[in-house]
Structure 1
Amino acid sequence: MSRRSLIGEALAAPAPSLVSDVEASQSGAARTFTARRLEGFTEAARMVKRPTIRLKPSECSIWPGNARDYALLTEDRVRSLIDSIQAENGNRIPVVVRRTKNAALEYELVIGTRRHWAVSWLNANHYPDIELVAIIEDLDDEAAFRLADIENREREDISDLERGANYKAAVDAYYDGVQARLADRVKLSKSMLSRYIGLTEIPQSIICAFSSPMDLQVRHGDKLLPALRNPVLREKMEAAAREIATEQSFRQSGDEEPISGADVVARLIKATTSRTGRVQKATIEANGSTIGQVERDRARGLTITLNPTNLSADDILEALRPLIERAKIMKRSARQ
């Protein structure tokens, strides 16, 4: 069943248990997740009732109030959607647009950023006849924000950081800076909303340590923010973040697996609790065997200890080469 059908069915004939949940919430009882989502879907169903039209992506500007950062979309990130739209000769689920007054383009895209990007890509890559299926809605910015939020909660590829920034902007723009008002309108707990918005306090100097903004999650913010609010600990964390970012770049250039979000957080936190934060140790491996240990100190550089081994000098040098190259990269980075 399509998402739109699900919304319509929930609006037309809610199950008795769901009705009871909603009524209980209205009387002051604790809201269940199901009841909150039903209210959200009901709100969406009230707004999405228009017949569809077909248009070119170039006829739409992108509403800046949506959580998704259009500039971060890439072919790899949208590949499965591109394939689906190509196979079906269009987007099965319509995007939502609204008419714009006194603007260069007649329509503004409110919901469906990935679908818009995918059709644009197909138009530019041998499929110029595929059009964007859309619904026209008469929405003010606050209603557009709420409808987009309902849509975005069903998507797994919007980062917690994007959502946090979107919520923060919406609080200031539509709810007079009162987080509780936004939380009530979008059926989100006040504590969870606060955690999302808290991510916006994390500076770019820390975000750059993550391989992708998608790796920075709300639960990570809970661990990082207390230390970041302490100037002394923040300085240590930023120094560690620069080193991790350099290592991430080195891994990417060598087609290695990136450092996971959880490991990045663990290393950042460790940097704030270490007495010196200077010496880092790692084993040296060659042909599947451990042949020694390397210590990297910011002041002294590399200290390499080798164990007796039957490996040839060429094999040993080959194992040491990437360590030396990585040290050069980190040293250049530290100077910048």
Structure 2
Amino acid sequence: MARKQSDYLAALLSDEVETTPAAVEEAAPQAPAIPPRTERSRGTTLLGRESALARVASGEVRQVTQLLLDPARVRVWPGNARSYIHLSEESCRELIDSIIAEGGQKVPAVVRRIDGDPDHDFEVIAGTRRHWSVAWLRAHSYPDMHFVAQVVQLDDEAAFRLADLENRARKDVSDLERARNYAEALKHHYGNHMTRMAERLKLSKGWLSKMLKVAGIPDAILDAFASPADVQLKPAYPLAQALDDASKAPAIRKEAQRLAREQVSRRNGGRPAVPAADVIKSLLAAPDAGRFRPEPKSVLSNHGRPVASIQSSNRQGVTMRLHAGSGAQREQILDAVRELLAMLDDEGRGLRP
């Protein structure tokens, strides 16, 4: 080991050395930066320095390098639950003021290196709001502000677990954001094995099942809310269950359309939005309100007789009936089935892959 490197490690790990800031660089480091030499205590011995180096070699202690980055060269990892496009000056105002008051970002984000992207060198695993806030400050009178980050080596599944741990402590990450993030992770990282995912994340399988259920609420229903952030797990779970009932879903969808129009009208008129609790109550009451009576879904032949019809549609699948005596040929029957599936897709009740 080079002398300078050993001096750096010994200085870093010695209990009797004055604390110095972590090494930082403007670009990707080629080697760990060397902190300024500090005066060691007279009692420091060669044995003590070798012991410190042995701790590093054994993996007991690891070096942590922090970088000062241009946020424009850092993209946000799409596997994070937080919706970057919904961040704003208002939602990040407290963090922005804190960074200004402290003269810079004090808590480093977690990033990893990426290859094959000419526009970016790193991606954010944890610290999305910090990235947004520093980028905003650089565009608003603080051009020299840097994005402080710690580089780690993680595969996608480990990155997801790290981001999830951070987001659990954040009240501004909505249940719906987390639920949809879990649904994507279940498919991409855990092979659709919910039990394995629950074990890896150390979550209750029942709780995770409810989150995944809420993740499946269609966007057409979410439009009834003033904001997707208003969709919380406990009240939204009965709604997700009701949407599985083919006899109730059409009425709920129709009521969601009405509520969505009302939300737009209120927003344009400067009036308060319909509260989330009232939206849930109205949607769940829709099937019994007599506002909508679903008509049976069927396709008729040229002779006016039913060729195929939908018997039920829920999370277990779609049940259809092919009618005898319709006078339709095989290709016409297949066309009728395709037409019925297209009807379900348009309503958001189609078969899920």
Normalising by the smaller structure, the TM-score range is 0.5 to 0.7
Using the alignment, how far apart are the partners of 2:292 and 2:278 within structure 1? 16
2:272 to 257, 262, 272: 257
8 Å contact 2:68–2:146 — kept in the other structure? yes
SS of equivalent to 2:110: strand
8 Å contact 2:198–2:208 — kept in the other structure? yes
In structure 2, the CA distance between the partners of 1:49 and 1:95, relative to structure 1 (3 Å rule), is farther
SS of equivalent to 1:188: coil
Number of the residue aligned with 2:7: none
SS of equivalent to 1:241: helix
Using the alignment, how far apart are the partners of 1:191 and 1:142 within structure 2? 21
8 Å contact 2:176–2:215 — kept in the other structure? yes
Using the alignment, how far apart are the partners of 1:126 and 1:224 within structure 2? 46
8 Å contact 1:198–1:221 — kept in the other structure? no
- Structure 1 segments, 4+ long, off by >3 Å, are 46-49
In structure 2, the CA distance between the partners of 1:47 and 1:85, relative to structure 1 (3 Å rule), is farther
Q: How many residues align structurally?
A: 233
- 1:47 deviates by 12
Gaps of 5+ in 2: 1-59, 294-353
Q: Which is bigger in relative contact order (C-alpha 8 A, separation at least 6)?
A: 1
The amino acid of 2:199's aligned partner reads: D
SS of equivalent to 1:232: coil
The sequence identity of aligned pairs, in percent, is 42
Using the alignment, how far apart are the partners of 1:171 and 1:47 within structure 2? 33
The RMSD of aligned alpha carbons is 1.9
- 1:255 deviates by 2.4
Using the alignment, how far apart are the partners of 1:143 and 1:171 within structure 2? 13
Q: Larger Cα Rg: Structure 1 or Structure 2?
A: 2
Number of the residue aligned with 1:58: 72
8 Å contact 1:241–1:268 — kept in the other structure? yes
Number of the residue aligned with 1:84: 98
Q: Deviations over 1:211-263 (max 9, x none)?
A: 01111011122210222112331111111111111211222223222111111
- 1:84 deviates by 1.4
SS of equivalent to 1:116: helix
1:180-329 counterparts in 2 under 5 A?
Answer: 180-276=195-291
Q: How does the TM-score come out when normalised to structure 2? A: 0.63
Number of the residue aligned with 2:89: 75
The amino acid of 1:91's aligned partner reads: Q
- 1:49 deviates by 6.4
1:149-188 counterparts in 2 under 5 A?
Answer: 149-188=164-203
Gaps of 5+ in 1: 1-45, 279-336
8 Å contact 1:227–1:272 — kept in the other structure? no
- 1:202 deviates by 0.7
Using the alignment, how far apart are the partners of 1:242 and 1:96 within structure 2? 41
Q: How does the TM-score come out when normalised to structure 1? A: 0.66
